[in-house]
Structure 1
Amino acid sequence: MFVNKKLRPFLATFLVLLGAAAILWLMGRPLTYKGGLIQLWGPVGPKQSQMLLDWYSASHIVHGFLFYAILHVAAKRWKPGQKLLAATLVEAAWEIVENSPVIINRYREATIALGYRGDTVVNSVSDIVMMIAGFLLAARVPVWASVMIVLVLELIPLAIIRDNLTLNVWMLLAPNDAIRTWQAGA
């Protein structure tokens, strides 16, 4: 292949993104919302996880910060492109698993996402791109700024929709009735 050696991990990252989109489509995930509708923002409700961005886009940016931090410590000798590729592989794998029937049903059972139908392919691709954006931002800002950005990206959705990455993971792994009641606004 005649691709510059330094660019290969970035090309591979793009191919992972395309591969994840193809796998999700082959799994039967809808490409877009009903009738081909694509909007920039999918608010809480039926369009949640169906459009380009939604409240959970912030959690995917946080994934990027977390993956950067983990790989910065665990894979010190890797080049930046290799770290980005590894993070993208993990995020793409999560998008595929997250949109499997078992996880979609788990979200319905254990969280406040009672009507959750999974993501459209467009939303999943956007989620992966949000992780990449978070990863690249984490690589460029000081640690204190990374911590502040992650806190803001966790606290704003918590205040507005009563959910964020932390609660999402908590409720998937160890559902709590008190948290579910609070999230439902009761």
Structure 2
Amino acid sequence: MTVATGTDDTRQRRATLWLIACLGVLAIQITAQHFMGRLWICECGYAKLWEGVVKSSGNSQHITDWYTPSHIIHGFLFYGLGHLLLRGKPLSARLLLATAIESTWEIAENTPMVINRYRSATISLDYFGDSILNSTMDTIAMAAGFLIASRLPVALTVAIAIALELFTSWMVRDNLTLNVLMLVWPLDAVKAWQAGL
């Protein structure tokens, strides 16, 4: 009995350390974006729970927006990646991998090179990067997606991802798949459709 309790205590301590490391990665993301000159919140001076207008100066500035589902799907994908690469490691270790990937993307996404790519290749002509608040919440949305995927059957996780992709495509003519496509291989027909032409 003592051995089992000791083992449980050790596992708990390790999980706690992994989670502290995740928070450390998030702190690095926030600090890096601060030194990159990103605004903490929307230039408008306040934070909203939801920004529902894609083509607006408030997009990617508030707590959630139409791109939040994409970050939840990131979490689904990173859970799968962690399952493949870190099989046998604790869930918290796999979450650290996911957080490191997402945070790296959030920093890269807010560099002038990627911002200009969004502006030239996608319909995001008014995109000037994320606020630190929005970027932080994107990483938290990824973590939520990761934890959801860890609890649900694979088929249900895939069904939710497809539903989110179809729903955001229908509502705002954009989603994770189209976002990646237009960044990597922009198609004029897709850009025209997204613009409503």
**TM-score, normalised via structure 1 length:** 0.96
Letter in 2 for 1:15: G
Task: Quote the offset at 1:36 in angstroms.
Answer: 2.9
Identify unmatched segments of 5+ residues in structure 2.
Answer: 1-11
Percent of pairs with identical residues:
45
Alignment of 1:15 onto 2:24: yes
1:78 to 68, 71, 89: 89
Letter in 2 for 1:133: A
Alignment of 1:48 onto 2:88: no
RMSD (Å) for aligned C-alpha atoms:
1.1
The separation in 2 between residues aligned to 1:139 and 1:5, in whole angstroms, is 18
Q: Deviations over 1:88-140 (max 9, x none)?
A: 00000000000000000000000000110100000000000000000000000
Paired position in structure 1 for 2:133: 122
Greater gyration radius: 2
Alignment of 1:109 onto 2:120: yes
Paired position in structure 2 for 1:173: 184
Letter in 2 for 1:76: R
The separation in 2 between residues aligned to 1:76 and 1:59, in whole angstroms, is 25
Letter in 1 for 2:31: A
**Moved >4 Å (runs of 4+):** none
1:88 to 99, 113, 120: 99
124-133 or 10-19: which moved more? 10-19
Equivalent residue pairs, number: 184
Q: Deviations over 1:157-181 (max 9, x none)?
A: 1001000000000000000000000
Task: Quote the offset at 1:35 in angstroms.
Answer: 4.7
Identify unmatched segments of 5+ residues in structure 1.
Answer: none
Residue 50 of structure 2: SS of its match in structure 1?
A: coil
The separation in 1 between residues aligned to 2:129 and 2:142, in whole angstroms, is 18
Paired position in structure 1 for 2:4: none
Task: Quote the offset at 1:42 in angstroms.
Answer: 1.5
CA contact (8 A) 2:15 2:90 kept: no
1:131 to 118, 125, 142: 142
